[in-house]
Amino acid sequence: MKDKSAITSLFRWKAPAKGKIRFSFFMLSFAALLLSSCAISYKFNGASIDYQKTKTIQIDPFPIRSAYVWAPMQSIFNNKLTDIYAQQTKLKQVKRGGDLVVAGEITGFDQYNKGVSADGYSSQVQLKMTVNVRFTNTKNHQEDFERQFSATAEYDASQQLMAVQEELVTQMTKDITEQIFNATVANW
Protein backbone atom coordinates (compact mmCIF):
# COMPACT_ATOMS: atom_id res chain seq x y z
CA MET A 1 0.00 0.00 0.00
CA LYS A 2 2.83 2.38 0.76
CA ASP A 3 4.08 2.12 -2.80
CA LYS A 4 0.65 2.88 -4.21
CA SER A 5 0.21 6.02 -2.10
CA ALA A 6 3.68 7.24 -3.07
CA ILE A 7 2.83 6.88 -6.74
CA THR A 8 -0.54 8.58 -6.45
CA SER A 9 1.01 11.45 -4.48
CA LEU A 10 3.23 12.16 -7.47
CA PHE A 11 0.20 12.80 -9.62
CA ARG A 12 -1.75 14.94 -7.16
CA TRP A 13 -1.82 18.62 -7.88
CA LYS A 14 -2.12 21.07 -5.10
CA ALA A 15 -3.42 24.49 -6.05
CA PRO A 16 -0.91 27.26 -5.28
CA ALA A 17 -1.83 30.35 -3.31
CA LYS A 18 -3.56 33.14 -5.26
CA GLY A 19 -0.47 35.37 -5.60
CA LYS A 20 1.67 32.51 -6.84
CA ILE A 21 -0.71 31.83 -9.75
CA ARG A 22 -0.18 35.32 -11.16
CA PHE A 23 3.57 35.05 -10.73
CA SER A 24 3.68 31.60 -12.41
CA PHE A 25 1.49 32.80 -15.28
CA PHE A 26 3.68 35.89 -15.70
CA MET A 27 6.89 33.81 -15.73
CA LEU A 28 5.41 31.31 -18.20
CA SER A 29 4.27 34.13 -20.51
CA PHE A 30 7.64 35.85 -20.27
CA ALA A 31 9.49 32.61 -21.07
CA ALA A 32 7.25 31.93 -24.08
CA LEU A 33 7.77 35.47 -25.37
CA LEU A 34 11.52 35.22 -24.88
CA LEU A 35 11.76 31.88 -26.68
CA SER A 36 9.61 33.01 -29.60
CA SER A 37 11.65 36.19 -30.05
CA CYS A 38 14.89 34.19 -30.11
CA ALA A 39 13.88 32.11 -33.09
CA ILE A 40 16.27 33.45 -35.69
CA SER A 41 16.41 32.19 -39.22
CA TYR A 42 19.74 33.36 -40.62
CA LYS A 43 21.84 31.65 -43.24
CA PHE A 44 25.50 32.56 -43.49
CA ASN A 45 27.55 31.03 -46.24
CA GLY A 46 30.57 33.29 -46.10
CA ALA A 47 30.04 34.98 -49.47
CA SER A 48 29.90 38.77 -49.63
CA ILE A 49 28.92 39.39 -53.23
CA ASP A 50 27.00 42.34 -54.64
CA TYR A 51 24.66 40.38 -56.90
CA GLN A 52 23.47 43.61 -58.52
CA LYS A 53 26.93 44.08 -60.10
CA THR A 54 28.37 40.56 -60.08
CA LYS A 55 26.22 37.92 -61.71
CA THR A 56 28.57 35.37 -63.33
CA ILE A 57 31.72 33.42 -62.59
CA GLN A 58 34.10 31.72 -64.98
CA ILE A 59 36.05 28.81 -63.49
CA ASP A 60 38.71 27.56 -65.88
CA PRO A 61 39.89 23.94 -65.56
CA PHE A 62 43.05 23.61 -63.46
CA PRO A 63 45.60 21.38 -65.23
CA ILE A 64 48.28 19.45 -63.33
CA ARG A 65 51.73 21.01 -63.69
CA SER A 66 53.51 19.14 -60.89
CA ALA A 67 56.38 16.68 -61.25
CA TYR A 68 54.34 13.87 -59.67
CA VAL A 69 50.97 13.31 -61.33
CA TRP A 70 47.96 11.35 -60.17
CA ALA A 71 45.45 11.77 -63.00
CA PRO A 72 42.15 11.66 -61.01
CA MET A 73 43.37 14.59 -58.89
CA GLN A 74 42.56 17.06 -61.68
CA SER A 75 38.90 16.07 -62.00
CA ILE A 76 38.44 15.80 -58.21
CA PHE A 77 39.82 19.33 -57.79
CA ASN A 78 37.94 20.90 -60.70
CA ASN A 79 34.62 19.36 -59.63
CA LYS A 80 35.00 20.46 -56.01
CA LEU A 81 35.95 24.00 -57.05
CA THR A 82 32.90 24.43 -59.28
CA ASP A 83 30.66 22.80 -56.67
CA ILE A 84 31.64 25.17 -53.85
CA TYR A 85 30.67 28.23 -55.91
CA ALA A 86 27.47 26.58 -57.14
CA GLN A 87 26.40 25.58 -53.62
CA GLN A 88 27.38 28.73 -51.72
CA THR A 89 26.65 31.55 -54.18
CA LYS A 90 23.96 32.58 -56.64
CA LEU A 91 26.53 33.24 -59.37
CA LYS A 92 25.84 31.73 -62.77
CA GLN A 93 28.81 29.72 -64.03
CA VAL A 94 29.84 30.60 -67.58
CA LYS A 95 32.55 29.34 -69.96
CA ARG A 96 33.74 32.84 -71.01
CA GLY A 97 33.40 36.46 -70.01
CA GLY A 98 32.56 35.96 -66.34
CA ASP A 99 32.35 38.90 -63.94
CA LEU A 100 34.71 36.86 -61.75
CA VAL A 101 37.39 34.63 -63.26
CA VAL A 102 39.18 31.87 -61.35
CA ALA A 103 42.05 30.22 -63.23
CA GLY A 104 45.27 28.44 -62.37
CA GLU A 105 47.02 25.10 -62.16
CA ILE A 106 47.93 22.38 -59.69
CA THR A 107 51.65 23.05 -59.26
CA GLY A 108 52.66 20.63 -56.55
CA PHE A 109 51.84 17.14 -55.34
CA ASP A 110 54.68 15.94 -53.15
CA GLN A 111 55.30 13.60 -50.28
CA TYR A 112 57.78 14.03 -47.43
CA ASN A 113 58.92 11.89 -44.53
CA LYS A 114 57.27 13.42 -41.50
CA GLY A 115 58.41 11.13 -38.70
CA VAL A 116 61.11 8.54 -38.17
CA SER A 117 60.67 5.48 -35.97
CA ALA A 118 63.27 4.10 -33.54
CA ASP A 119 64.61 1.73 -36.20
CA GLY A 120 65.44 4.64 -38.51
CA TYR A 121 62.65 4.10 -41.02
CA SER A 122 59.88 6.56 -41.86
CA SER A 123 56.81 6.23 -39.65
CA GLN A 124 54.68 9.10 -41.00
CA VAL A 125 54.47 10.54 -44.50
CA GLN A 126 53.09 13.97 -45.32
CA LEU A 127 51.40 14.58 -48.63
CA LYS A 128 51.25 18.19 -49.84
CA MET A 129 49.15 19.66 -52.63
CA THR A 130 49.81 23.17 -53.97
CA VAL A 131 47.60 25.16 -56.33
CA ASN A 132 48.42 28.44 -58.06
CA VAL A 133 45.34 30.67 -58.52
CA ARG A 134 44.81 33.75 -60.67
CA PHE A 135 41.66 35.62 -59.67
CA THR A 136 40.19 38.47 -61.69
CA ASN A 137 37.22 40.58 -60.65
CA THR A 138 36.19 42.47 -63.80
CA LYS A 139 33.95 44.75 -61.71
CA ASN A 140 36.69 45.72 -59.24
CA HIS A 141 40.26 45.05 -60.37
CA GLN A 142 41.62 46.06 -56.95
CA GLU A 143 40.57 42.58 -55.78
CA ASP A 144 42.61 40.77 -58.48
CA PHE A 145 45.41 38.52 -57.27
CA GLU A 146 47.70 35.63 -58.08
CA ARG A 147 48.46 33.44 -55.08
CA GLN A 148 49.40 29.91 -54.10
CA PHE A 149 47.23 27.80 -51.80
CA SER A 150 48.31 24.53 -50.24
CA ALA A 151 47.11 21.81 -47.91
CA THR A 152 48.72 18.80 -46.30
CA ALA A 153 47.58 15.40 -45.08
CA GLU A 154 49.48 12.67 -43.28
CA TYR A 155 49.34 8.92 -43.49
CA ASP A 156 51.12 6.03 -41.82
CA ALA A 157 54.23 4.92 -43.71
CA SER A 158 53.17 1.29 -43.37
CA GLN A 159 50.38 2.05 -45.86
CA GLN A 160 50.87 2.30 -49.58
CA LEU A 161 50.15 5.73 -51.07
CA MET A 162 47.83 4.14 -53.63
CA ALA A 163 45.63 2.84 -50.79
CA VAL A 164 45.06 6.26 -49.21
CA GLN A 165 45.67 8.64 -52.11
CA GLU A 166 42.04 9.26 -53.12
CA GLU A 167 40.92 9.97 -49.56
CA LEU A 168 43.84 12.31 -48.87
CA VAL A 169 43.51 14.16 -52.19
CA THR A 170 39.78 14.65 -51.53
CA GLN A 171 40.57 15.99 -48.04
CA MET A 172 43.27 18.39 -49.32
CA THR A 173 41.07 19.49 -52.23
CA LYS A 174 38.27 20.40 -49.83
CA ASP A 175 40.68 22.47 -47.76
CA ILE A 176 42.21 24.27 -50.76
CA THR A 177 38.87 25.02 -52.45
CA GLU A 178 37.56 26.53 -49.20
CA GLN A 179 40.70 28.71 -49.01
CA ILE A 180 40.17 29.84 -52.62
CA PHE A 181 36.48 30.52 -52.02
CA ASN A 182 37.26 32.62 -48.94
CA ALA A 183 39.99 34.56 -50.73
CA THR A 184 37.86 35.32 -53.79
CA VAL A 185 34.32 36.02 -52.58
CA ALA A 186 34.19 35.93 -48.77
CA ASN A 187 36.10 39.17 -48.08
CA TRP A 188 35.61 38.98 -44.32
Domain boundaries, the chain: 2-37, 56-186
pLDDT along the chain (188 residues), means of 10: 54 56 56 46 56 95 94 96 96 97 97 81 90 96 96 93 95 98 84
Sequence-distant (≥ 6) Cβ neighbours of residue 81 within 8 angstroms: 59, 62, 102, 177, 180
Per-residue pLDDT at 16:
58
CATH of domain 56-186: 3.30.160.150
Q: Tell me the backbone φ, ψ of residue 126, rounded to 5 degrees.
A: -110, 130
Kindly report the pTM of this predicted structure.
0.73
Residue 132: its pLDDT value, please? 98
